[in-house]
Amino acid sequence: MHTRDFTLSDRYNMTDGELFLTGLQALVRVPLEQSRRDARTGMRSAILISGYEGSPLAGYDLELNRQRELLDEQTIVFRPGVNEELAVNAVQGSQLASVSPNCEYDGVVGVWYGKAPGLDRASDALRHANLGGVAPNGGALVLVGDDSIAKSSTVPSSSETAMAELGLPILVPSDPQEVLDFGLHAIAMSRFSGLWVGMKLATNVVDGAATVRVDDTRVSVTMPSRVIDEIEYSHQVSSDFLQPNLARLEKSLMYERVELATRYVRTNEINRSIGDAQAKLGVITAGASFRDTLQALERIGISESDLGQSGIRILKLGAINPLDQDMVREFCDGLDEAVVIEEKRAFVELAVKDALYGVLGAPRVVGKRDEKARPLLRADSDLPPELLAEKLDQRIRAVIPQKVTELGLKDASRRPTRLTLPLLTRTPYFCSGCPHNRSTVVPEGSLVGAGIGCHALAKMMPEDRVGEIVALSQMGGEGASWVGMAPFVSNNHMFQNLGDGTFHHSGSLAIRAAVAAGVNITYKLLYNDAVAMTGGQSAIGKMSVPQIVQELLAEGVSRVVITTDDVKKYRKLRLPRSVNVLDRAELIPIQEELAATPGVTVLIHDQECATELRRKRKRGLVADPSTRAFINERLCEGCGDCGQKSNCMSVQPVETAFGRKTRIDQASCNKDYSCLDGDCPSFVAVEPGASSRKAKDDQSLPALPDPVLKINPEAFNVRITGVGGTGVVTVAQILSTAGALAGLHVRSLDQLGMAQKGGAVVSDLKFSTRPISGTNKLAEGDCDLYLGCDLLVAADKSNLTVASSQRTVSVISTAQVPTGSMILQPGTAFPSVASIRESIDATSRGNESVYADAREIAHREFGSDQLANMVLVGMAVQAGALPIPLESIEKAIELNGVAIAANLRAIRVGRMHVIEPTGSETAIPWAANSRMFGNATQLRDALTGLAGITEELKDRVGFLAADLADYHDVKYALSYVGFVSDTAAREARALGTTGPLTATAAESMFKLMAYKDEYETARHYLDPDFDRAVREQFGDDAIYRYKLHPPVLRAMGLKKKLSLGAWFKPMLHVLRRSRRLRGTRLDPFGYALVRKIERALIEEFAELTAEVLSLVSPESADQVAAILAMPQEIRGYEHIKLDSVAEYHRKVNQARDLLLAPGGTEVA
């Protein structure tokens, strides 16, 4: 195995050698290669690239922009379009320029790009452009991205039918190598035929990567004869679509130009046949399906090298339109059956049948249906290798059954049974600090229209937050459905979300349509200054907010209002007097006002995209606020109000010795500060000090032994699973590059979907010392290393299917990263880690699996969890599950050029953890915690006389009682011990033993007795542990301010929290010393309604406990346990707590009635 040495710039500069390229990078290289080829022939050409971003081509424009210097050197003009159809017109202009007498170049190549919906939108422009044709010295390439399973689209797509109807020849690459080769062929074919030539680009091809060969002579173009009916035909580009020229253009489009395209395909061997010359079974396929077919045959037991004696041959179509009918007939000669494999509807299949119609001895053709018209290859979803293996196995056994025994083929119909768990799934969500967290909230009962953009994720959120979403339109159709709904429904108004990117693309026309229809609708124009869904591009032709306001008013909009997170920036801007600028805190009332305003109104919410703002801060383009939000976890009630206010993924639940609390994940926090808006007193604003925690240096790690390999280093497959935005794709790219540097052949696929928005991301990597013929996506049982960067995504059954109990080593991070639903709904718990491990171990070599909380390890070593994934890679290396030479991985990290030293150390930290595991993932050690309180032993001794109480329960009760002594006094704590003693005695009398019911009641009573009043707030802010936690995270010289909203001042009309600095600390000491006033007539805070209810709840629960324990039986023990646990769900402060208490009373009353009723069941 020979090693390779290359740099990242070689992707576009190397002219001879091997590279590791993604499909998207290959697309960027195509125009660069074309420019070099023209220059070598003495042609002084230029190239225009225009289009509109969209998955799977979402990053094409971003990568082109990164290579601006190279583009400029080679006279490649990149000019993105306002939308797809206008971009087609621009590319059409490149062909008209090629024949202009004023053209400054020998010719201009035009390249258009867009995803399938963009092709639909641009179809009329393309129809005109292709009819007018291409100049012989120009060329037009149409790049269409197809998302067949709607991974990151609203609808699935397959564009060959649409392209063919427009008269475009269609090339279908199967991997990055063919993207390069076919891209050059497409331009040459376009020049030769006079047609715009399309390339169908599947997601798996564009998002995939592979080792490719580049050299000046790899693509050798042979030009066939142009003579048709004894006349040499050369197309002359035209934009004259009037008769009689129109008739000539149509005729050439239908005949001469198609014939030339067919000749080009045949002469340059764009299609090829492989396999057994004596075959009776044929397979016809194209693009990514070709790779899937090879993988499927390999699963059955037929490798590419075995095809010559397999009884099977494959026609691999590089061009599916026009279909080379002569080649199809030659391929099918002697076959008994031809299976056409293609995703979605039949296209090639129909063309093959047309080619064979009337041919004597033609084979049977099956595809979407078999010979008896039964469904065979589905037309929906995709056709993964495991499904193809099953179907091909059926055809082999039917057509060439002798080969089953002769080749020892496997039975592909036997699929393994797998353990599956009902899990909380990882769904996409708004980013931390995302403007849509606030801007998509609507008044209760509102109808809402969704559209294309990040804001569409509101569809996955609770209706009481984002309204009833009744419509989801294509890009540019936002609100138009209300024009058709409004006359026929009783509702008289709808809100319509509209992104600023969509507004500039086509959405402004939808607003005009609504004005023309006279409907009552409020457009919420979400001005985020970036097309964030596709990579953060600026909208082409972007207008400022004042310019948009002027346009809207000119269109006839009845009222425009601006809301923003920064009202100050509008103070010096000139706006019409009728336009109000409000703080985002006023979103709900102003929406109610607009909903009552007749006609079309527009609310422009101006707040920058959080992801782009974060990038700008890192690059120093905008100021990075120093203030950090931090939560005093002892004061936190875990009520979820801060999550409700902010809807922010950085506001994360955490389990503590005192129950579920909330913590700010500082690594992902975008400093939006929405979480501070609630009434909770547990927040502080921190100014980090200069001495913030530093990562350890590498000298603290000893020399490490070489790992013992557990998987085959000659050929191995890796699946990496995780959450978008956490570096999973970066890890995949580093490992792929490392494999290429080590001389391995590599194929990879990043399955992103909505990964940019916190959704699941899966990266598949294949490594081999030999060329890899199959697909870049792993199939069932294909995985050697299963690297789980996120526990929930790793446990997803659709991802686990690639694992094998005989083959797979799992290396999994057990960090419990919350989902969006856990942020909004505090009652949603993370699934059991033990059960998830059981599920993963059942589908892998469980005794060799490695589990660790990589986030906690990274945070301990580096002060942040951002290197957690690289720690996990280090664990995989030392576990012997990643047989890429360590020096190649380190070289790849250096080539990546980001935080090199830290990433190298993270690898070593991960390796060290496998050798000497650190940390604990067991339950909270209450025995150890009990020693934190001076009175714990004394109070626990009060329980020693009780028989049947475990030492663990005594320890826990002692711990809680000690805290109550510090909360108020020892007498108060002993009353708690007395309650536990009475409860234990009652449980023992009723059930003969003391245990779960007493433990549950003890937890609930502690929560009720330790209610958080003003004295308790003071105690927890004076707690040395709180001060230590702040300084450990932000430095010894950190400064913090308490964010408080005292009930007394709130009742007097104070709307916002006070920000109180160190000067307020003496007041906290006064409050702390005054705690024994709690509940007395001298307690100034005790007369508030919430305090009266808190005190009453203690006595209520004591009575409730006695009552239900008098009724308990072995059969009703679970019901009683549920009742006794109910106080633990009372959470929050002030009105939130009062609402929680009301819900508690409702549930208790219902549960008590059910307990008393014969045959009672669980509480709803």
Please compute the mean of the pLDDT values over residues 190-203 and round it to a whole number: 97
Task: Give the CATH number for residue 632.
Answer: 3.30.70
Residue 132 near residue 238, CB atoms below 8 Å: yes
- The three-class DSSP label of residue 241 is coil
Whether residue 254 is found in the same domain as residue 399: no
Structural element, H or E, at residue 315: strand 312-317
Whether residue 785 is found in the same domain as residue 669: no
Residue 349 near residue 368, CB atoms below 8 Å: yes
State residue 958's pLDDT score: 86
- The three-class DSSP label of residue 643 is helix
Residue 890 near residue 904, CB atoms below 8 Å: yes
State residue 936's pLDDT score: 56
State residue 935's pLDDT score: 57
Nearest to 348 by CA among 278, 256, 271, 274: 271
Specify the residue for token string 């769900």: 1129
Specify the residue for token string 């149409």: 142
Q: How many domains does the chain have?
A: 5
Whether residue 16 is found in the same domain as residue 151: yes
Evaluate if residue 699 carries a pLDDT over 70.
Answer: no
Residue 122: pLDDT band by 50, 70, 90 thresholds? very high
Please compute the mean of the pLDDT values over residues 462-481 and round it to a whole number: 92
Output 932 or 687, whichever has higher pLDDT: 687
Share above pLDDT 70 across residues of the chain, in percent, rounded to a whole number: 93
Whether residue 861 is found in the same domain as residue 726: yes
Nearest to 425 by CA among 892, 62, 984, 821: 821
State residue 245's pLDDT score: 95
State residue 979's pLDDT score: 94
Evaluate if residue 934 carries a pLDDT over 80.
Answer: no
Specify the residue for token string 């300084």: 1031
Q: Counting beta carbons within 10 angstroms of the beta carbon of residue 343, is it exposed (0 to 12), middle (13 to 18) or buried (19 or more)?
A: buried
Cβ neighbors of 336 (< 8 A, separation 6 or more) are 280, 281, 363, 364, 399
pLDDT tens for 400-443 read 999 888 888 888 765 554 544 445 677 788 888 889 988 999 99
Residue 921: pLDDT band by 50, 70, 90 thresholds? very low
- The three-class DSSP label of residue 922 is coil
Whether residue 910 is found in the same domain as residue 803: yes
Specify the residue for token string 């109104």: 601
Residue 967 near residue 1019, CB atoms below 8 Å: yes
Whether residue 235 is found in the same domain as residue 100: yes
Whether residue 226 is found in the same domain as residue 313: no
* β strands within 643-708, DSSP E: 651-656, 659-664, 683-687
Evaluate if residue 672 carries a pLDDT over 50.
Answer: yes
Q: Is residue 788 part of a domain?
A: yes
How far lies 1161's CA from each of 336, 1127, 1143, 1148, 1158, in Å?
64, 20, 19, 13, 9
- Residue 114 forms beta bridges with which residues? 144
CA separation for the pair 308, 1010 (Å, rounded): 79
* Distance from chain centroid for Cα 376: 33
- Residue 524 forms beta bridges with which residues? 497, 603
Q: Return phi, psi of residue 506, to 5°.
A: -165, -10
Q: Is residue 231 part of a domain?
A: yes
Tokens of 1067: 């007041």
Whether residue 834 is found in the same domain as residue 801: yes
Residue 1144 near residue 1123, CB atoms below 8 Å: no
Nearest to 634 by CA among 1098, 1007, 1125, 1066: 1007
Cβ neighbors of 571 (< 8 A, separation 6 or more) are none
Specify the residue for token string 């000539």: 248
Please compute the mean of the pLDDT values over residues 20-44 and round it to a whole number: 96
Q: Is residue 1063 part of a domain?
A: no
The per-residue DSSP string of 434-503 comes to -THHHHT---TT-EEEE-SSGGGGGGGS-HHHH-EEEEE--TT-TTHHHHHHGGGSS---EEEEEEHHHI
CA separation for the pair 1046, 1090 (Å, rounded): 13
Structural element, H or E, at residue 113: strand 107-115
Q: From the CB of residue 989, how many other CB atoms can be counted at a distance below 10 Å?
A: 12
State residue 557's pLDDT score: 97
pLDDT tens for 953-999 read 888 888 899 899 999 998 899 899 999 989 999 999 999 888 899 99
- Strand order in 468-472's β-sheet? 468-472, 447-450, 494-499, 521-527, 600-606, 559-564, 580-583
State residue 222's pLDDT score: 95
Q: Is residue 857 part of a domain?
A: yes
Which of 209, 233, 265 is at the close of a domain?
A: 265
Nearest to 72 by CA among 35, 102, 107: 35
Q: From the CB of residue 892, how many other CB atoms can be counted at a distance below 10 Å?
A: 22
Torsion of CA 325, 330, 335, 336, to 10 degrees: 40
Q: From the CB of residue 304, how many other CB atoms can be counted at a distance below 10 Å?
A: 17
Tokens of 573: 């801007």
Please compute the mean of the pLDDT values over residues 261-290 and round it to a whole number: 97
How many residues appear in the chain? 1164
CA separation for the pair 1075, 1079 (Å, rounded): 9
Residue 523 near residue 479, CB atoms below 8 Å: yes
Task: Give the CATH number for residue 327.
Answer: 3.40.50.920
Q: From the CB of residue 301, how many other CB atoms can be counted at a distance below 10 Å?
A: 18
Q: How far apart are the first and last CA of the chain?
A: 64
Three-state helix/strand/coil letters over 768-815: ECCCCCCCCCCCCCCCCEEEECCHHHHHCHHHHCCCCCCCCEEEEECC
Evaluate if residue 946 carries a pLDDT over 60.
Answer: no
Structural element, H or E, at residue 862: helix 854-862
Tell me which residue range forms the domain holding 382. Answer: 271-407
Please compute the mean of the pLDDT values over residues 1021-1041 and round it to a whole number: 93
State residue 825's pLDDT score: 77
Average pLDDT along the chain:
90
Please compute the mean of the pLDDT values over residues 227-237 and round it to a whole number: 94
Whether residue 544 is found in the same domain as residue 680: no
Poorest-pLDDT segment among 168-177, 535-544, 793-802:
535-544
Evaluate if residue 278 carries a pLDDT over 70.
Answer: yes
Cβ neighbors of 539 (< 8 A, separation 6 or more) are 500, 501, 503, 504, 505, 531
Poorest-pLDDT segment among 171-185, 781-795, 1149-1163:
1149-1163
Which of 897, 915, 933 is at the close of a domain?
A: 915
Residue 388 near residue 341, CB atoms below 8 Å: yes
CA separation for the pair 722, 813 (Å, rounded): 10
Which of 658, 687, 716 is at the close of a domain?
A: 687
Output 921 or 428, whichever has higher pLDDT: 428
Q: Are strands 337-341 and 364-366 parallel, antiparallel or unpaired?
A: parallel
Whether residue 245 is found in the same domain as residue 276: no
Peptide bond into 56 cis (omega under 30): yes
Tokens of 1098: 């203690």
Evaluate if residue 937 carries a pLDDT over 70.
Answer: no
Cβ neighbors of 723 (< 8 A, separation 6 or more) are 426, 755, 758, 759, 760, 761, 789, 790, 793, 817
How far lies 1025's CA from each of 609, 954, 1031, 1072, in Å?
36, 24, 10, 16
Percentages of the chain per state (helix, strand, coil), in multiples of 5: 45, 15, 40
pLDDT tens for 851-903 read 999 999 998 888 888 899 999 999 999 999 999 999 999 999 999 988 999 99
Tokens of 1112: 């308990």
Share above pLDDT 90 across residues of the chain, in percent, rounded to a whole number: 72
Specify the residue for token string 């990597």: 765
Output 718 or 614, whichever has higher pLDDT: 718
State residue 954's pLDDT score: 84
Please compute the mean of the pLDDT values over residues 668-680 and round it to a whole number: 88
Q: Is residue 119 part of a domain?
A: yes
Whether residue 723 is found in the same domain as residue 675: no
Evaluate if residue 2 carries a pLDDT over 80.
Answer: no
State residue 943's pLDDT score: 63
State residue 726's pLDDT score: 83
CA separation for the pair 1097, 407 (Å, rounded): 77
Q: Is residue 923 part of a domain?
A: no
State residue 643's pLDDT score: 86
Task: Give the CATH number for residue 750.
Answer: 3.40.920.10
Q: Is residue 1088 part of a domain?
A: no
Q: From the CB of residue 574, how many other CB atoms can be counted at a distance below 10 Å?
A: 6
How far lies 1016's CA from each of 164, 967, 1011, 1098, in Å?
73, 7, 8, 17
Task: Give the CATH number for residue 33.
Answer: 3.40.50.970
Q: Is residue 1004 part of a domain?
A: no
Whether residue 729 is found in the same domain as residue 641: no
Q: From the CB of residue 236, how many other CB atoms can be counted at a distance below 10 Å?
A: 13
